[in-house]
Amino acid sequence: MIFPCAGACNVGQLANDLTKDMSKKGIGRMACIAAVGSGGMMAINAAKQTKVILAVDGCPVGCAKKILEKNGIVPTVHVLVTDIGMKKTDELSYSEDEMKRMFKLTMDRLKSLE
């Protein structure tokens, strides 16, 4: 299961779109962090029964990771979009190159689990 923070900024939107892309490619399944945050037991129980949980946060505030942890779910892998050197801004856009670099960083982190 992949939980993006989906924040209202460039890095949050990249996190969301990265997750969509991975889900469409069959690399995990996008899941609703808002459902976990609102106490939705279906989402919480599904996450607790999932082997690998990936949290994709836009910035070091780490909202997706914190929401998961507050609900007793420890992410197997946690990545930050700002780790590719992006600066967080109020814009909702990002470049193709930034998306490619974040995809690579995330896949490298997942492969290190093998």
Please list every residue from 13 through 52 that binds ligand SF4, using CB under 6 A: none
What is the nearest approach in angstroms of ligand SF4 to the Cβ of residue 64? 6
Compose the 53-72 pattern: x for residues touching ligand SF4 by CB under 6 A, - for all others: ----xxx-xxx---------
CA distance 53 to 76: 5
Q: What's at 35, amino acid-wise? A: A
Residue 79 CB partners (closer than 8 Å, separation 6+): 54, 55, 56, 57, 102, 105, 106, 109
- Of 1, 2, 5, 84, the residue at the interface with ligand SF4 (CB under 6 A) is 5
- For ligand SF4, the binding residues (CB under 6 A) are 5, 7, 9, 11-12, 57-59, 61-63
